[in-house]
Amino acid sequence: MVNRTFDDWCKDFNKRPALAVTCSVLWVILVCGIAFFWHLGSIGLIDETEPLFAEASRQMLVRQDWITPFFNNETRFDKPALIYWFQAIAYLLMGVNEWAVRIPSAIAATTVVGLSFYTLQWYFLKQDESKHMSLPTRRWLIPSLAAAMMAFNAHMLVWGRTGVSDMLLTCCIASALLCFFLGYANQDDSKSHKGILPSKWYTAFYVLIAGAILTKGPVGIVLPGLIVLAFLLYVGKFREVLREIAIIPGLLIIFGLAAPWYLLVTWRNGWDYINSFFGYHNIERFTDVVNGHQAPWFFYFIAVLLGFAPYSVYLPSAMLNLKFWQWQNWRRKTRTEQFSLFILIWFVVIFGFFTIAVTKLPSYVLPLIPAAAILVALLWSDIITKSPTFGLRASAWINVVFVSACAAALFYVPKLIGYDPAAPNFAQALQQSNVTTIGGILWLVCAILIGFLLVNKNWVALISTNLAGFALFLLFVLTPALFIMDGERQLPLRKLSTIAVQNSQPQEELIMVGFKKPTVAFYTQRYVNYIKTSQEANNYIESKSATTTSSSVLILTEPKKLPQIGLLPIDYNILGDSGAYQLVRVPLKK
C-alpha cells in the first residue's frame, strides 16, 4: 500500500465508481473550503462596496420590501435584486453578520469549481470512449488540477470571499456556458433529447442566464450570447444548433424568470430606476468613464497576469497549443472534441468585450477566470499523452522568473504601500508582523523547486508546486495580512459604531464628515448623514440647531476636521477615539 502510485489510485477509481465520486466531492470541498470558507466571516466588512450590498439586503428584511433595494434611506439601483435576496435569506438563516453577507459568494465560487470539475471529467471520459482507450490518470488528475487552479488565484479568492454581486454573476455565466456545451455535445448521442422544449442542459443554460440577468443586468445575457454565437459561427453550426436549442421556449424561460422583478421595480420607481440602472450603470459604464475607473487599453493584460498568477504565464502556450486558426480542422471534429475551442472563445470574448469598454475594473474579467483555469489544465492534459512543446517549456522557465520576481517584491511590500489616512499604521504593522518576509521566502523556495522539477522534467509536480505554494501563501501570508488590515482599517469603525449605538439618545442624528464609510450604516443599523466638507457640516449644524427638537448630534470624523467645522474642545464631548477616527457629541445651541 505504501508504494502505490497515483496511477494505481486512478485505476481503482475506474473500478469503484462510488469511491471515485466520494473522492471527487471531497477534493472539491477541501479546495473550496480552504479558498472560500476558511475564516470567511472572521474579519469585518470592507469599505466601500461590500457594506452597500450588506445593508441594502438587511433593509429588505427591515422594510419587508423585496422589490426596491435601499441603502441609508435612499434607493440603490446599482445592481438587480438576486444578490440582495440571497444575502437576506442568509440573514434569516444565520443572523445579520459577516458570514451571512459573504456566504452567497462562497457558495457561488464553489458551484463554479464543482461544475467545472464535473465537465472536465465528462469530457475526458467521452474522449476515452471515442478512442477506445482508458487514461484514468488524465481523467482524475486534470480535473483536480483545474479545480485547484480555479480556486487558488487572486481573482476567485477576493470575490469568492466578498459579499458583492461579482462572484454570483461569474457563477451564473460560467455555469450557463458549461451547461450549454454539455447540451451541445450531448446532441451527438443517439439518445439525446428531441422535442419542442429544450433538453435538461439547455434548460439549465436558460435558467442560469436568467440568474445572470437578475444579478447584473443585460451583461448577463450579452456575454454568454456573444460567446455562444462566436463559437457556433466558427464551427459552422449556427443554424443547426438554433433549431435544436429551442430558442423560443428558452427565451420564454429567461423572460418568465427575470422579467417580473424588472417590471415590478420599474412600475414602482419609473424613470428614476430606468435612468439610473440602464442609463448610468450599464450604457454609460461601457461608453464612458464612471466613478473615475479609467485605465489604459492593456489594463486587463496586467489584471489577468496578476489575478490568475502564477498559472497565467501558461495561458499563451495553452492558447497556441489549440491551433485555433485551423478552422476547417475544428469544423471536422466531433462536438465533444470542440470543447477546448469553446473554452478559448469564452476567454477571448470576455477579455475583448471589457477591453473595449471605457470603464475598467479588475472584477469585470472575473467570468473568464474559470475558462483560464480550464485552458491551462487542458494544456497539462497533453503532457500525459504527448511530449511537452517548446512553448510549454519556455512558459515553465517564465514561471520560475515570475515566481522569483513575486518573491523579491514581497520583501519590499511594506515600503511600497502608500499612506492611507484610513489606516495610517498599516504599513508599519505589516512590516512588524514579518508576513511579507514569510511570503517572500515561501515563493523563493517555490521558484527553486519549480526550476529543479523543470530540469528533471517532472511536469505534474511542477504545476502542483505552484498550487501548493499558493495554498500555503493563502494560509500563512494573505490571511494574517487581512487580519492586520482589518484591525488597522475597519476595526476602529466597528468600535465607534458600537459606541454610537450604546450612547445614542432619542432622535439624535449621526453625522459622518469628510468621508463615506458605509460600514457604519451596517453596524449601527441606522441612518447616517454623510457630509462631504467641513464647511457644509458647519452650515448643517447651525441649521439643525434652529429646526430640530434633538438637543445634540453625533459626529464621526477625523480629529483634525473638528476645528475646520468650527468646533472648539469645549463645544463637544468625546465619546470614542479609535484609529484615525473620533466620535463626538455636539450639543446644539438653541
Cα 104 to Cα 41: distance, rounded to the nearest angstrom = 12
Write down the pLDDT at residue 270.
82
Provide the b/e sequence for 208-242 (b: ≥16 CB within 10 Å). Answer: bbbbbbbbbbebbbebbebbbebbbebbebeeebe
Residue range 65-116, pLDDT digits in tens? 999 999 999 988 888 999 999 999 999 999 999 999 999 999 999 999 999 9
Write down the pLDDT at residue 190.
44
Write down the pLDDT at residue 16.
65
Same domain for 309 and 338: yes
State which amino acid sits at residue 78: D
Q: How many domains does the chain have?
A: 3
pLDDT above 50 (res 2): no
Same domain for 519 and 450: no
Same domain for 269 and 147: yes
Residue range 298-352, pLDDT digits in tens? 889 999 999 999 999 999 999 999 999 998 999 999 999 999 999 999 999 999 9
User: 468: number of CA atoms within 13 Å, CB side?
Assistant: 12
What is the mean predicted confidence (pLDDT) over 31-36? 96
User: 239: number of CA atoms within 13 Å, CB side?
Assistant: 0
Higher-confidence residue of 208 and 137: namely 208
Where does a domain end: 364, 386, 408?
386
Same domain for 548 and 456: no
1 falls in which pLDDT band (50, 70, 90)? very low
Cα 584 to Cα 555: distance, rounded to the nearest angstrom = 5
Same domain for 424 and 393: yes
* Residue 545, domain extent: 504-587
Cα 318 to Cα 391: distance, rounded to the nearest angstrom = 9
Write down the pLDDT at residue 430.
87
65 within a domain of the structure (yes/no):
no
What is the mean predicted confidence (pLDDT) over 486-511? 93
Same domain for 198 and 317: yes
Query: Residue 537 in contact with residue 511, Cβ under 8 Å?
Result: yes
Write down the pLDDT at residue 116.
96
Cα 246 to Cα 203: distance, rounded to the nearest angstrom = 9
Q: Please give the share of the chain, as a percent, with pLDDT higher than 70.
A: 91
Write down the pLDDT at residue 9.
54
pLDDT above 50 (res 3): no
Cα 246 to Cα 104: distance, rounded to the nearest angstrom = 31
Residue range 425-464, pLDDT digits in tens? 888 888 888 999 999 999 999 999 999 999 988 888 899 9
Average pLDDT, the chain: 88
Write down the pLDDT at residue 11.
56
pLDDT above 90 (res 494): yes
Same domain for 157 and 288: yes
Where does a domain end: 322, 354, 386?
386
192 within a domain of the structure (yes/no):
yes
Higher-confidence residue of 424 and 335: namely 335
Higher-confidence residue of 184 and 385: namely 184
379 falls in which pLDDT band (50, 70, 90)? very high
Same domain for 469 and 426: yes
Write down the pLDDT at residue 585.
93
Write down the pLDDT at residue 122.
92
Same domain for 406 and 377: no
Q: Does residue 573 sit in helix, strand or coil?
A: strand
522 within a domain of the structure (yes/no):
yes
Where does a domain end: 429, 463, 490?
490
pLDDT above 60 (res 290): no
